[in-house]
Amino acid sequence: MKRELTKEDKELAEAGYEHLARQKTAGQQEGDSKLDGVDIHEHKLAFTELEGELDTSFDPKDPGLSTGLSTDEAKARLSRYGPNILTPPKKKSALRKYWDCLMTMFNILLIIAGILEYILLGVDYKDNFPNTYLGGILIGVAFLNAFIEFYQLQKSEAILASFLAMIPPSSRVVRDGTIMTIPAAELVKGDIVLVRSGDKTPADLIVFAASDLKVDNSSLTGESEPQERFARPDGVEARPVEAENLLFNSTLIVNGEGWGVVVRTGDHTLIGQIAALTGNETGKQSPLAVEIGRFVMMVSGIAILFAIIFFVVGITTVYKGKGEQTVTFAVSILVAFVPEGLPSVVTLLLSIAAKRMAAQNVLVKDLQGVETLGMYTSSLLTLLATDKTGTLTRNQMTVTNLWSGLRMFSAFQSNNDSDDTEAFSIGTPGMREMVDIAALNSHVKFDRTDLPFEQRKILGDATETGLIRFAGKHIQDYDGYQKQHPKVFEIPFNSSNKWALVIVEKTHQQGVLTAYIKGAPERVLAKCSTYLHDGKEVPITDDFKAEYDQAYDYMASRGHRVIACAQKLLPSDVYNSSYEFNKTDNKYPSTEYCFCGLVSLEDPPKHGVREAIGTLRLAGIKVMMVTGDHPKTAEAIARKINLILGETKETLSKKTGRPVEEIYDDEVDAIVIHGDDIDGLQGWQWDQIFAKNEIVFARTSPQHKLEIVKRAQALGHIVGVTGDGVNDSPALKKADLGIAMNISGSDVSKEAANMILLDDNFASTVKGVAEGRQIFVNLKRSIQYTISHSTPEVIPQLLYVVVPIPLPLSAILILVIDLGFELFVALSFAWDKPETKDGLMRMAPRKPVNERSITSLKKRALRRTKTLRRDPETDEIIRPSRFSQYMMRVKAPFTREFWEDALEPSENETLVDGKLLSYAYLEAGVIEMLGALVAYFVVFFKNGFTPGDLRRAQTALNNHPPITYFTKSSPDFVNSRGRVLTGSEQVEALAKAQSIVYLSIFIIQCFNVFAVKAKFRFPFGKSIVGNYYNFAGILGGACLGIFIIYTPPLHVVFGGSFHLSPLYWLIPAAFGVLLLVWASIRVLLMRKSIEQSRVKDIKGLMMFPTMRTMSMRSKH
């Protein structure tokens, strides 16, 4: 039973995905051609052919006697082929970077305004000489802004460059018949290299000698099990990734040692090919860059528009034909509107935040990345796609349960086990045999044997390491036990057998040899005819198989890896001490084994992962797992770590007894998708998947991960990806925020990511999210604070033209406001702390992706799709010309669809939104404007000018002949009370009035520092006033303001008067208090909407350490 979608529904669902299909086809064609160009074929060659092709010499029988290349030949090849390094992406020159920083809209406006002032100087030097300072300051500010941003970018890149290393620093190589250590960058084709357990492979090698060599390819191919590598004298006919004689650059040697000859270096290695795949994916511009860019364009447009309007009004009223003065006036309007210090503030805020995040073990590769972590969580609905192995789990196997003799045992005390699970005891029948198999059927080695067993580092794969750790606890003398029971014969584990066999000297009643086998349960059970029960061998029955299936399912469903163990007591009449075992002729015991039991090993989640995922989900972030593991294992792990809490169709089917096909999609909230199904998914199916709150993708390839990211982004999600392998790098690059691991992460994944977790701890992501959300809030506060002074700067200019009144604020004083005290205080917001303990981490996303937003997005996409022209033969889209695109943009505002889209209600909150602009321009801005004008008129009144007098004095400019007041050479002015005011008194009155306007804006802005923070609480609490840097910024701004106003030598440039009484400061202080009162009323008015935007509690969320962690703690 399925709920059928109509044709219209499917058409709508498919909308928005078409561009992905086109990209996929093009990408595949391009990717295939690149792979064909650097294909590896040497693994197919026999040793003699390999020596001839590479012109080198090696000895497969005794590798240590190989001569290798001569030093001179190696130098010649190095100059011919180039160093063994991956080519980093092309970087811009320092000059180009500075140019990009300079060519932002604000800086361009400032430079143009400054140049205009100097043009006026050339037109009339005498009258326009004061503008010399203004023009120079405007241009200097633009270059200073660009330098601050450039300096911070260079500093950030320098830190990263010192941290990232793309290949291993050194390698052991044979040159001139001698083993030496050289920088890995100097390796060339034909070099003979020795690799040992724990090494990173320095280049692509063909193995010609190996001893128990195993390599961890998980970071390259996604294979979780270490792969054994062999010497193949005749070569192998297989794909390079499947060749048993190939070691790939940057893969980790986990066991044994091997000798290889270098066949590929640098970009020609397999890792270089995948790096090329990553290079195909272009990084997206961060949401912060987009929003600030939009804000800059909007403010710049408004500034230019008002400057033009004021120029026209000014030249027709106050300045009547005086073009030079009108231009200066228009420039002052431009300067008033443009927050010149904003780019510097944003860059410095992010730089400070980057350093703080580094202290939280989160390294930010670029400044925009700092905010993205908070942006995609707090501003946009986030989809965090995380890898499992090494990211959520430790990649450390630990024995958890044993099943033997139809009884289940726990390796340690655990509350997770069923009631009939018994505690492990070595004396229990069957347990000694299980421990012996774990200890004696093993290939692990130790870094040192002179230390106690518990202190040794085990060199081997994670599964065998877990078994040995377990066995070592129950064997008193591990080294002595190994010597007491030496190996006679062994067949190592491989991917085709899926079992490992060892025969050791261990005496029993029937003989002196014992065979132990371990491996995949179904393979081992097939070799058994009996099972061990209470120390006796009992024939295997159907009842036993049913019990076995139940135990196997119990272990696997908990996300554990399950290993089966069996033994065979070899009778001496057949297998005596002189028997020649041989695996090629099957001269070894392969049947009639006695099944000893099952062992489950857990790859436990990293400490804090469960709480971290719970916290992220409570913060409104959708977390999903994208892994290469088996679906059942992935789901079991997901249920342990808060990633899946609800039912999937399969679990609901098992609970209710209904067939899976009869369960509707909206009945379940969780889904597990197999990688094999991804390629066939249609648009409406992707929509259904991403509509779930709990998602797991299993058995995925690198291309699958990339496809998942693209599909999520097509629905409007801002996607974060965490990963540590090369196979994660394409998705990391495409994601809005790529987060790589430092310790376990591959070089390519670090290169592709925006952010790196220095301690490999997934829980650090939560710290980053909390920090990022606070950065967003701090940025918003800083912008809100910075643009609040635009209204008290612009409205007085308007009154100067319209009323008119003497100019309340000169252009140069406006610049001092924007780049003086404002800069000090705006920067101090970087150290603001959250208003409440968990307020930000419980707020709903600011840009929710829900059914409504997706439908709206798809309708627009469908409308665009239907207007596209297609080739009638190939059905390919014909792209319109640039002129056509331009004309479409011009016509758009005159269409119905344009206004429907523009006026469509949205739940989004952007960095600069209507609420912020309303507060800055209409609320705080108006209060500041009123405070400044009241102080302005009071100061003029105390100096003999009523508002009527000011208007009469200013309109005298329109007389015939015009009379200019408020200059030293002005005629006496008789006020309305009959008092005669000389030119010097007029100048002094104007200087005082302009000074108080300047100081009024500063004083009220000091109160605004705390008013802009009031969202959850009133602007008086400790969290509001607890940032001491705010007070330091205010003190710095006060010192600057008083210095400018009360220092006579500076009056030549800035104006001002040291005769201004501090008593006048009380007027703006009163308006500052009024602003705080209004901020408090605003908190009350907004309280309900804020409460509604909080994320509701999630039922079943487990905000405590995993039981595994608790059990181990209780034991110790």
Tokens 């612009």 correspond to what residue?
794
Amino acid at 957: L
The structure tokens listed for 122 are 């050339």
600, exposed or middle or buried, with CB in 10 Å at 0-12, 13-18, 19+?
A: buried
Q: What is the DSSP string of 437-478?
A: HHHHS---EES-SSS-GGGPPEES-HHHHHHHHHHHHT-S-H
520 closest CA partner among 482, 558, 493:
493
Amino acid at 554: Y
Distances (CA, A) of 1003 to 140, 686, 947, 1072: 27, 55, 23, 7
Mean pLDDT of 912-918: 86
* 342-356, 533-547, 589-603, 943-957, range with the lowest pLDDT: 342-356
Mean pLDDT of 485-508: 82
- Find the helix packing angle between 342-359 and 105-123, rounded to 10°: 150
Q: Would you state the pLDDT for residue 496?
A: 58
Each residue's pLDDT tens digit, 137-179: 888 888 887 887 788 667 656 655 554 443 345 788 988 888 7
Percent of the chain topping pLDDT 70: 82
What is the torsional sign of CA 43, 45, 51, 55?
A: negative
| pLDDT surpassing 50 at residue 1017 | yes
Q: Please confirm whether the linkage preceding 961 is cis (ω < 30° from 0).
A: yes
Q: Would you state the pLDDT for residue 152?
A: 67
Each residue's pLDDT tens digit, 312-327: 877 777 666 666 667 7
DSSP letter, residue 666: G
146 closest CA partner among 111, 185, 118, 187:
111
d(C-alpha 732, C-alpha 695), whole Å: 19
Each residue's pLDDT tens digit, 625-675: 998 666 777 888 898 888 999 999 988 998 888 898 888 888 899 999 988
∠ at Cα 283 (912, 705), nearest 5°? 110
| pLDDT surpassing 70 at residue 27 | no
- The answer to whether 1065 and 1077 are in contact (CB under 8 A) is no
Which positions ≥6 away from 48 have C-beta within 8 Å? none
Other Cβ atoms within 10 Å of 843 Cβ, number: 20
Mean pLDDT of 283-288: 56
- The answer to whether 105 and 300 are in contact (CB under 8 A) is yes
694 closest CA partner among 767, 627, 635:
635
* 141-145, 490-494, 686-690, 1005-1009, range with the lowest pLDDT: 490-494
Residue/partner pairs of 43-48 with CB below 8 Å, 24 or more apart: 43/206, 43/232, 43/235, 43/236, 43/238, 43/240, 43/243, 43/245, 43/246, 43/263, 44/235, 44/236, 44/237, 45/206, 45/235, 46/233, 46/234, 46/235, 47/208, 47/233
DSSP H or E segment with residue 52 = helix 47-54
Q: Would you state the pLDDT for residue 171?
A: 84
Each residue's pLDDT tens digit, 847-860: 777 777 777 777 77
Tokens 């104007």 correspond to what residue?
990
d(C-alpha 940, C-alpha 997), whole Å: 11
pLDDT band at 870 (very low <50, low <70, confident <90, very high): low
Mean pLDDT of 752-779: 81
Each residue's pLDDT tens digit, 291-300: 777 778 888 8
Each residue's pLDDT tens digit, 604-626: 788 888 998 998 888 888 899 99
Distances (CA, A) of 938 to 934, 1066, 1069, 1070: 6, 12, 14, 14
Mean pLDDT of 824-853: 77
pLDDT band at 285 (very low <50, low <70, confident <90, very high): low
155, exposed or middle or buried, with CB in 10 Å at 0-12, 13-18, 19+?
A: middle
Distances (CA, A) of 574 to 508, 514, 595, 702: 14, 12, 21, 52
Each residue's pLDDT tens digit, 959-995: 778 788 888 888 999 998 889 999 999 999 999 999 9
d(C-alpha 926, C-alpha 189), whole Å: 73
- The answer to whether 458 and 468 are in contact (CB under 8 A) is yes
User: Residues for the chain: how many in total?
Assistant: 1116
d(C-alpha 1108, C-alpha 1116), whole Å: 13
pLDDT band at 998 (very low <50, low <70, confident <90, very high): very high
- The answer to whether 100 and 92 are in contact (CB under 8 A) is yes
Q: Would you state the pLDDT for residue 1022?
A: 77
d(C-alpha 367, C-alpha 372), whole Å: 9
Q: Would you state the pLDDT for residue 328?
A: 74
* 26-30, 242-246, 929-933, range with the lowest pLDDT: 26-30
Other Cβ atoms within 10 Å of 797 Cβ, number: 23
Mean pLDDT of 719-726: 79
d(C-alpha 671, C-alpha 690), whole Å: 9
Average pLDDT, whole number, for the chain?
Answer: 80
E-assigned strand segments in 855-948:
869-870, 877-878
φ/ψ of residue 723, rounded to 5: -170, 165
3-class secondary structure, 50? helix
d(C-alpha 171, C-alpha 999), whole Å: 67
Each residue's pLDDT tens digit, 872-896: 766 666 777 778 777 877 887 888 7
Each residue's pLDDT tens digit, 550-604: 998 888 788 787 889 999 999 988 888 888 888 767 889 989 999 999 999 887 7
| pLDDT surpassing 50 at residue 829 | yes
The structure tokens listed for 166 are 């793309």
Amino acid at 23: Q
φ/ψ of residue 676, rounded to 5: -65, -20
Amino acid at 906: S
684 closest CA partner among 7, 19, 25, 20:
7
- Which one of the listed residues 191, 199, 216, 387 is annotated catalytic? 387
DSSP letter, residue 15: T
169 closest CA partner among 758, 741, 747:
747
Mean pLDDT of 796-814: 85
Percent of the chain topping pLDDT 90: 21
The structure tokens listed for 839 are 């307020």
Tokens 């990173």 correspond to what residue?
200
d(C-alpha 289, C-alpha 989), whole Å: 45
In the chain the first and final C-alpha atoms are separated, in Å, by 53
| pLDDT surpassing 60 at residue 387 | yes
d(C-alpha 306, C-alpha 299), whole Å: 11
- Find the helix packing angle between 323-337 and 790-802, rounded to 10°: 150
Distances (CA, A) of 1073 to 208, 296, 1042, 1069: 82, 31, 21, 6
Q: Please confirm whether the linkage preceding 202 is cis (ω < 30° from 0).
A: no
The bridge status of strand 622-626 relative to strand 694-698 is: parallel
Does the active-site annotation cover 387? yes
Other Cβ atoms within 10 Å of 998 Cβ, number: 27
Beta bridge partner(s), residue 490: 502
Residue/partner pairs of 80-84 with CB below 8 Å, 24 or more apart: 81/188, 81/189, 81/265, 81/266, 82/265, 82/266, 83/185, 83/186, 83/265, 83/266, 84/167, 84/184, 84/185, 84/186, 84/187, 84/188, 84/202, 84/203, 84/265, 84/266
Give exposure, 713-752, as e/b (b: 16+ Cβ within 10 Å).
bbbbbbbbbbbbbbbbbbbbbbbbbbbbbbebbbbbbbbb
3-class secondary structure, 505? strand
pLDDT band at 379 (very low <50, low <70, confident <90, very high): very low
Q: Would you state the pLDDT for residue 725?
A: 66
